[in-house]
Amino acid sequence: MLRTLGGTEVTLLFAAAGMPADAVAELGLVDPGVEQVLIAPVVVVELTTENNGPRRRIELLAGQAAMAEQVSQRNVASAEVLFETALGLVYCGEMFHIQGFVVERLGGVAYLYRVAAMS
């Protein structure tokens, strides 16, 4: 269904776990970088913003199948943990901060994730 609605892809950003083993890294002078995780297919909906609000707001709709792959690859308990630990997401080359997310369930099983983000 998400592919039919114009499925696209976004990238979730996570803090990199590995650090160099030298003294400079221990002082915090080295940027460990980020890990990029591709989520596809997703549907991105542009939301209206107020004049004094954020420049751009989006809502991301991701299916359970797309999230299950990343949950197993990153070895976390659930997709909720992915969204809670992400530094942000990248869509069309623009960085967005994750405001919150809602998990849609049917019969107690998650089938859709709605993520609100702003730039």
Does residue 55 carry a pLDDT above 90?
no
Map out the domains of the chain as residue ranges: 8-118
Q: Which of 63, 73, 101 is nearest to 14 (CA)?
A: 73
Tell me the whole-structure pTM to 2 decimals: 0.78
pLDDT grade for 54, boundaries at 50, 70 and 90: low
Give residue-wise pLDDT tens across range 13-46: 998 876 556 666 666 666 677 889 999 999 999 8
pLDDT grade for 6, boundaries at 50, 70 and 90: low
Question: What is the rounded average pLDDT of the residues 73-99?
Answer: 91
Query: Count of CB atoms within 10 A of residue 117's CB?
Result: 26
Q: Decide: 117 and 96 in contact? Cβ < 8 Å.
A: yes
What distances in angstroms separate CA 16 from CA 20, 37, 97, one per listed residue? 11, 11, 18
Report pLDDT for 29. Answer: 63
Q: Does 41 sit behind a cis peptide bond, omega within 30 degrees of 0 on the bond before it?
A: yes
Cβ-count burial 66-105 (b if 16+ within 10 Å, e if not): bbeebbeeeeeeebeebbeebebbbbeeeebebeebebee
Does residue 2 carry a pLDDT above 60?
no
Mean residue pLDDT of the chain comes to 84
Better-predicted residue by pLDDT, 69 or 102: 102
